[in-house]
Structure 1
Amino acid sequence: MTLHESTMSTSTIRQRFLDLHVPGRPLLMPNPWDAGSAKVLESLGFRALATTSAGFAGTVGRLDGRVTRDEALRHAEQVVAAVTVPVSADLESCFASDASGVAETVRLAAAAGLAGCSIEDYDSDTGGLFPIAEAAERVAAAAEAAHAGPDPFVLTARADGALHGLEGPDETIARLRAFEEAGADVLYAPGVSALPELRRILEAVSLPINVLALPDAPTVAELAEVGVARVSVGSGFFLAAMGALAAAGRELLDEGTYQFWDSALRGQEATRAAFA
């Protein structure tokens, strides 16, 4: 039995995750890329975590979108087992082209002990978005699978058009409203972070809204003021770690010096505290 299983039931963890979504008091939900980074983030005080598809793919030397469903779910299980806080999974477009396959992915995610997962409306096979009716059908299938059990499994439905430069604000709102009607629990439009656009979204829907903290995003306090319920960082922390690694490598190669130990010692302190 894992520490996660022994300290709190899956049902309790899932309910706690759902309860943490409070508009105006954003849940800060960072995205670890392995069990070690998950432990560090939990030790810092974060109350929930989410996997990152790009970060996980990076750990096996691949680009985002290049891992299989089985690999993503095994990875999610490892993160769940490493921590005691709720974990949601970034499952891309649920690794399926049809609604029945989407539902199966969500059932497997729930069986892995996750508190929730997300579904995208981006079709990596075509490089476009699923048509809105089809995207809503996929969310409905995911929601039915997510809510079939006795305890809440939090489904986050993503409208990814803004992130890929494929749609304007009106279509994003139309998709989010369709996903709300289809049974999602949380809505997410990565790439949308300007306060005027967020206000429009928050006026158009009633579900909690997640915002992706990109470089130009408003501060957490500003997001709280307009009613955002959750803030995540996507691959940001993984890329920050890779940036530090690249900088350390360049310093050793180009300068022959060891200033990287300044941040490395802080990392040593963090890992000792997290892994004890």
Structure 2
Amino acid sequence: MKAQLSFTPRNSTTYGKLKAEIEVVSEYLHVGMEKGIPRVDSEKINNARKKIDNVLKDFINDRLSPGEVDQFFQPEVNWFSSENGTYFIPGNSVKGAVRSRIELSTPGSCYISTDRRTQNVSSRYISIFKPDKRIGSDNFLKEYFVNGRSVCPVCNVFGNSGLASRVIFTDFKLVSGKVGIIPYNNERYEVVLKGSKFTGEILFKGLKDEEVGMVLFGMKAFDNAGKISFKEMLFGRFKFMDRKFGRVRFSIQSAVQINPLEDLKRFLEKYHPKEVNENW
């Protein structure tokens, strides 16, 4: 007879909440639109149609040369994630970034967000995080676990196939800052500029103190002489290619029914995670 699976039930009615801010500390941040979701701006489309009509008329009437026509057409833009005019960082992207750092740092964790098998891993990523290729992935549905019959501590919080997550990240919406379009690698990218800020919420369902601390650690939290502070985190496109891209920092705006600093301390005391310096 198999031993009983060890994981935390999902029926808790105890909730905690963090309102958090993400600040862009690099020159640029690009988080792309999901594939298959084009940005549609009817006003810009109508204006573009009028301009194209005028340009074609001038070209047909020999008032513009082919070279002069080219100036009215620009390469496609890789848009920043947005909807109805609101720029945002998808909650799942934030959650994945936080989770992967915990997986790479916490003893007894499996790798879910951390893809150790792909052949396209950046050498800089490997030098910074040093993923262990020997570590496998829990599969709750198939009852395969790296720790015998116990769900790994990270999956127990963040979920697994067939096992609901106990932490939810909302989308982080742009609340201040500037957006621009820049050329990079022979393409054009819409980017959010340094100093821009996004806000969102992190909801905890039935988490123990050290599990809340685990999430905070994944956000790069640390005990700064009795105050909770946050280190820079690599995030978004080109973060391993160019220092001008992909550096952000969390901060806490408010907390409900949790004590961030004490929770972080409990996590550090229980798991002794590996510290990683991402500031390459």
Query: Same fold, TM exceeding 0.5?
Result: no
Q: TM-score range by the shorter chain?
A: under 0.3
Which of structures 1 and 2 has the larger relative contact order (alpha carbons within 8 angstroms, sep 6+)? Answer: 2
Greater strand proportion: 2
- How does the TM-score come out when normalised to structure 2? 0.25
- How does the TM-score come out when normalised to structure 1? 0.26
Greater helix proportion: 1
Structure showing greater radius of gyration is 2
